[in-house]
Structure 1
Amino acid sequence: SYNERIDGRKIRSRSRSFFDHFSQARLFFHSQSSAEQNHIIDALSFELGKVKSIMVRERMLAMLKQIDDALASAVAYALGLHIPEIALEDLNNSIPADGSKADYASENPEGSLAKSAALSMVNTIKDTIETRKIAILAADGVNGKTLSLVKDALVSAGAVVHIIAPRLGEIISVDDQKIQPDESFLTAASVLYDAVYVPGGSNSIASLEGEANALQFLNQAFKHCKAIATDEDVLQLLESTAFHKKLPADFEEETVLREGILISADTSSLIETFKKMIGLHRFWDRENPRKIPA
């Protein structure tokens, strides 16, 4: 090769593909599971519900209609609005001063791919609990033996386990074992954890039952479809939660792996089943039919 002089006129221009503002969003939405689509609808409804200008809300609904009719209709229903008829070429107003409206008009071609499983979190690998954060709720009088067995098994499997108590400072187990909590209910939030385990111990259970933040912690874990496991004598505590009437009728493994709730007196069995539950990550079938305040 050699240096060759080339003459030409320099221009600043974009390919027409830059004005396809909708096909990638449509692919993403159509690739989600029903639960994930509901989350997107709820998120859009929340964010647009904070917008005070009706004109802006309506314009966003017109854009959502270009992505998916059902998506736009669901958000419009939540906002109490009708979807306006705005022509595709009128949706993009990001036009430079020396630009032409026709040159910057949005396009909405059909994509070459209808769905992609890789875009949905439901399709992620669920054969490990490595790096998952697990909360163990405990107070003075906790069953230190089951707490230690469950914690050690989860840590050995690669999970991150935090003991959360009503206060920082050592708690004393029913067998006089000193246990150092990692967090208190004042500093820990349920949304930061992937699953919750509550060991037994009558005094610990009574303390947690009287701790509003502990009940809120469990309520939020249930609402967000996370795995919850407890020793058998913790049922008293669960009866004080907002979801006590929504507990499954039995705790056979098939039911547990569908519902994401486990109550067991057999610690060894609880550990193995709980690890499977954590590996599944979330239990989306619980979300809509079992909604609770939290």
Structure 2
Amino acid sequence: MASLNDRKVAILTEEGFEQVELTSPKQALEAAGAKVDVISPKMGKIKAWNETEWGIEINVDKQLSEANPNDYDALILPGGVMNPDKLRQNKEAVAFAFSFLKDGKPVAAICHGPQLLIETGLISGRTMTSYPSLQTDLRNAGVRWIDQEVVVDNGLVTSRTPADLEAFNQKMIEEIREGAHHHA
């Protein structure tokens, strides 16, 4: 596994994130040596959704209002239905994600996570995947949507469901190791 010892990664999330879609990438990143901060509009702890019921609570490392995208090398967006829907309505969260895309930094979004990226206005022309129910929203935002376990488009990594986490984590780490991608 590639060393990410010099990399700092932000996981942007809200209450109701899909538990394994945060815990699995976070563990993979930390195992590769990255410093990972869980960032949320909320302070303290936030609660996961675990398939069909509430799951664990995790600590928020930094409140969104105090987080600076320039302090991070990459952005991870876990899914879950509630989490991305809350984030996409939060102007600070949209601006945070916008900054990563604008600067060509790696962004990895799984399941419903790409919903937030629609709001940035920066994904038209990209190739992505997501949870199948988002394909119309993504296509309407100008995305070429394909049904694949993991899709990489110039530093933007997307996957469909928790079943894709192994491939998602591997590609996410590769893209973060490569660093910023500047597309034409």
TM-score, normalisation: structure 1: 0.51
Other structure's SS at 2:14 match = coil
The residue type equivalent to 2:171 in the other structure is: T
1:154 maps onto 2:52 in alignment: no
Of 197-206 and 238-247, deviating more is: 238-247
Q: Deviations over 1:140-187 (max 9, x none)?
A: 101111201110110011000000001211111113311111011111
The residue type equivalent to 2:25 in the other structure is: V
Which residue in the other structure is 1:227 paired with?
A: 106
Looking at structure 1, the residues matched to 170 and 91 of structure 2 have their Cα atoms a distance apart, in angstroms, of 30
How big is the shift at 1:250? 5.7
Of 237-246 and 165-174, deviating more is: 237-246
Q: Is the 8 A contact 1:135 1:164 kept in 2?
A: yes
1:132 maps onto 2:7 in alignment: yes
Q: Is the 8 A contact 1:133 1:161 kept in 2?
A: yes
1:1-294 matches, cutoff 5 A = 128-174=3-49, 175-248=54-127, 249=144, 256=152, 259-265=154-160, 266-284=164-182, 286=183, 289=184
How many residues were matched structurally? 159
The residue type equivalent to 1:154 in the other structure is: L
Larger relative contact order, structure 1 or 2 (CA cutoff 8 Å, min sep 6): 2
Looking at structure 1, the residues matched to 55 and 13 of structure 2 have their Cα atoms a distance apart, in angstroms, of 14
Looking at structure 2, the residues matched to 255 and 205 of structure 1 have their Cα atoms a distance apart, in angstroms, of 19
Other structure's SS at 1:135 match = strand
Structure number with higher strand proportion: 2
Structure 1 residues 207 and 254: alpha-carbon distance in aligned structure 2, compared to 1, 3 A threshold = closer
Structure 1 residues 160 and 250: alpha-carbon distance in aligned structure 2, compared to 1, 3 A threshold = same
Q: Is the 8 A contact 1:162 1:182 kept in 2?
A: yes
TM-score, normalisation: structure 2: 0.80
Unaligned runs of 5+ in 1: 1-126, 290-294
Q: Return the index of the structure with the highest Cα Rg.
A: 1
Unaligned runs of 5+ in 2: 128-143
Which residue in the other structure is 1:16 paired with?
A: none
Structure 1 residues 282 and 253: alpha-carbon distance in aligned structure 2, compared to 1, 3 A threshold = farther
How big is the shift at 1:241? 1.4
Q: Is the 8 A contact 1:253 1:273 kept in 2?
A: no
Q: Is the 8 A contact 2:11 2:78 kept in 1?
A: yes
Percent identity for Structure 1 against Structure 2: 27
Which residue in the other structure is 1:50 paired with?
A: none
Looking at structure 1, the residues matched to 176 and 43 of structure 2 have their Cα atoms a distance apart, in angstroms, of 26
Structure 1 residues 231 and 255: alpha-carbon distance in aligned structure 2, compared to 1, 3 A threshold = closer
Q: Is the 8 A contact 2:9 2:75 kept in 1?
A: yes
Q: Deviations over 1:50-95 (max 9, x none)?
A: xxxxxxxxxxxxxxxxxxxxxxxxxxxxxxxxxxxxxxxxxxxxxx
Looking at structure 2, the residues matched to 145 and 189 of structure 1 have their Cα atoms a distance apart, in angstroms, of 26
The residue type equivalent to 2:159 in the other structure is: S
Other structure's SS at 1:176 match = strand
Structure 1 residues 141 and 148: alpha-carbon distance in aligned structure 2, compared to 1, 3 A threshold = same
Other structure's SS at 1:200 match = coil
Looking at structure 2, the residues matched to 259 and 245 of structure 1 have their Cα atoms a distance apart, in angstroms, of 13
Structure number with higher helix proportion: 1
Looking at structure 2, the residues matched to 206 and 213 of structure 1 have their Cα atoms a distance apart, in angstroms, of 14
